[in-house]
């Protein structure tokens, strides 16, 4: 069972993430940020990850700390669930459209944190959600899952669609990268022997 449970508490937020990598896409989400719940639901569904997120954060200030810290905690949980990365495919990529919008996400479980985030949002907010926070989520994730992550929105005029295609493609890319490689079930996929 590739699963993990991580609780992370700071003066700003308390986050609990439980996940099962080889799940069926069930999600129980209570981040306190409804649009983020909608995005995490996409990651679970399209990544086929069972995902529970509970958060209480300093939303009276804004959603910044909560969204960033959920990215961090989700990244820690993925790293814990995946362990030494033996037998995983390592690389994953996906293109996802939603009407006029198209995004591409490429991930490498390289052991090194890195984020390239190129999403020219056409609006500053989606509902109540500050679009800057999408970057914060993925930066937190990349830093703590220790992945190289390239995120590009290639096209799109509706900011909700732009954001949703990014999260869906992220889920799909995770699924591909974390899949067990049937041809190489015991090897760490690196000539270094370690990831």
Which residues lie across from 154 on neighbouring strands? none
Which residue number, 45 or 155, has a Cβ lying nearer to Mn ion?
A: 45
Gap between the terminal Cα atoms of the chain: 20
Report d(CA 104, CA 6) in Å as an integer: 28
Q: Which is nearer to Mn ion, 152 or 164 (CB)?
A: 164
Report, in Å, the least distance between residue 164 CB and Mn ion.
5
Closer residue to Mn ion in complex, CB, 31/73: 31
- Which pair of tokens denotes residue 15? 């986050």
Residues touching Mn ion, count (CB under 5 A):
1
Nearer to Mn ion, 8 or 168 (CB): 168
With both helix axes pointing from N to C terminus, report the angle between 34-47 and 159-178 in degrees, rounded to the nearest 10. Answer: 40
Q: What residue number has its CB nearest to Mn ion?
A: 164
- Minimum CB separation of residue 160 from Mn ion in Å reads 6
Q: Which of residues 119-178 bind Mn ion (CB under 5 A)?
A: 164
Nearer to Mn ion, 50 or 164 (CB): 164
**For helices 159-178 and 132-145, what crossing angle results, to 10°?**
10
Measured at the CA of 125, the angle between CA 43 and CA 131, to 5 degrees, comes to 45
Q: How far is the CB of 133 from Mn ion (least distance, A)?
A: 16
Sheet holding 148-155, edge to edge: 91-98, 101-108, 148-155, 114-118
H helix or E strand, kind and range, residue 70: helix 64-82
Closer residue to Mn ion, CB minimum distance, 22 or 37:
37
- CA–CA separation, 140 and 134 (whole Å): 10
**Interface positions with Mn ion (CB under 5 A):** 164
């Amino acid at each position: 069972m590739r699963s993990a449970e991580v609780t992370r508490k700071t003066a700003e937020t308390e986050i609990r993430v439980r996940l099962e990598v080889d799940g069926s896409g069930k999600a129980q989400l209570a981040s306190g940020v409804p649009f983020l719940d909608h995005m995490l639901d996409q990651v679970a569904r399209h990544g086929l990850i069972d995902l529970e997120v509970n958060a209480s954060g300093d939303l009276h200030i804004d959603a910044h700390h909560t969204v960033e810290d959920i990215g961090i905690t989700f990244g820690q949980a993925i790293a814990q669930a995946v362990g030494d990365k033996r037998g995983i495919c390592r690389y994953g990529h996906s293109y996802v459209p939603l009407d006029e919008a198209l995004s591409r996400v490429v991930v490498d479980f390289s052991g090194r944190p890195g984020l390239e985030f190129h999403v020219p949002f056409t609006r500053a907010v989606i509902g109540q959600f500050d679009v800057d926070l999408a970057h914060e989520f993925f930066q937190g994730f990349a830093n703590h899952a220790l992945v190289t992550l390239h995120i590009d929105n290639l096209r799109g005029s509706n900011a909700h669609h732009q954001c949703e295609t990014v999260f869906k493609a992220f889920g799909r890319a995770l699924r591909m990268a974390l899949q067990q490689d049937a041809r190489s079930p015991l090897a760490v996929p690196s000539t270094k022997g370690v990831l």
